[in-house]
Amino acid sequence: MKTHIQFINTDVNPSIQELIQAKTKQLSEKYPWLIRADVIIKEENDPTPKGKISEIRLSAPGPRIFASSDEESFEASIAETIRDLEKQLKKRKGKMNPHL
């Protein structure tokens, strides 16, 4: 699976990139039919402590799968987004018809 990472309104952070690569690799090993992951990491000026946003769009057979979250740190935001994607992927896998 290819992973494309884009940083918006924040500096490129190698540790965040490594974390994303590791998490998407785990997803692709568990769900080998995934094709591509488009990841957007952005920071918004928010008066609340939150404002670190991660969005992940997965290309797979059927409609694309999308999740995003807004947390106090990028690590927490990525973890929450991956959890949301896992739920959607489990549901999609359950609906897939096995070839006979």
Q: Please give the model's pTM, rounded to 2 decimal places.
A: 0.89
Domain of 22?
11-65+75-95
Mean pLDDT across the chain, nearest whole number?
91
Q: Tell me whether residue 46 is in a domain.
A: yes
* Number of domains within the chain: 1
Residue 8 has phi, psi (to 5 degrees) of -125, 130
pLDDT band at 99 (very low <50, low <70, confident <90, very high): low
Distance CA 59, CA 29 (A): 15
Q: Tell me whether residue 6 is in a domain.
A: no
Q: Tell me whether residue 3 is in a domain.
A: no
Q: Tell me whether residue 48 is in a domain.
A: yes
CATH number of the CATH domain containing 21: 3.30.160
pLDDT digit string (tens) for 54-72?
Answer: 999 999 888 999 999 999 9
Helix (H) or strand (E) holding 50: none
